[in-house]
Amino acid sequence: MGSHDILSDMFSRIKNALNKKITAVVVLNSNLSQRVLDVLCTEGYLRGYQVKSFREIEVYLKYSGEDPVIRKLERVSRPGKRVYASAKDLLPVQSGVGIYVLSTSKGVISDSVARKLESGGEILCKVW
């Protein structure tokens, strides 16, 4: 069996839960997953999350009325094809409506923070 991409699995679970209008979903726990969830909570895309055990995190999804706040959630960099960008190369997502989540030497941060810190890195996902 090949390697398992925990971030792709987390994004799939979140997208499926949003399509079914579920308020909470359980995803696999990892340090990277928690850092990405921290950014999504800080940027206002999620209500929050709670670590249930060393294997599971419960993610609380956010809705604006009947519509989910996250309209699109895409994995950019994958295990087979890593995608890197400098701070200057980061263009706004959907004309500034969305964000990129990056893994940098300064931690997992959003694209707006990366521009302020002038730090590039691996683009993990884009959200809008």
- pLDDT for res 48: 98
The per-residue pLDDT of the chain, averaged, comes to 95
For the chain, where do the domains classified as CATH 3.30.1370.30 start and end?
Answer: 6-68
Per-run averaged pLDDT (10 residues), the chain, 128 residues: 80 98 97 98 98 98 96 96 95 89 98 96 97
Q: Output the six-digit token pair for 109.
A: 């941060």
The CATH number fitting domain 6-68, selected from 3.40.309.10, 3.40.50.300, 2.60.120.10, 3.30.1370.30: 3.30.1370.30
For the chain, where do the domains classified as CATH 3.30.1490.10 start and end?
Answer: 73-127
Burial class (CB in 10 A: 0-12, 13-18, 19+), 124: buried
Beta bridge partners of 100: 126
- pLDDT for res 1: 41
Looking at the domain that runs over 73-127, which CATH code has it been given?
A: 3.30.1490.10
Measured in whole angstroms, the distance separating CA 95 from the mean position of its chain's CA atoms is 18
pLDDT digits (tens, 9 = 90+) for 117-126: 999 999 999 9
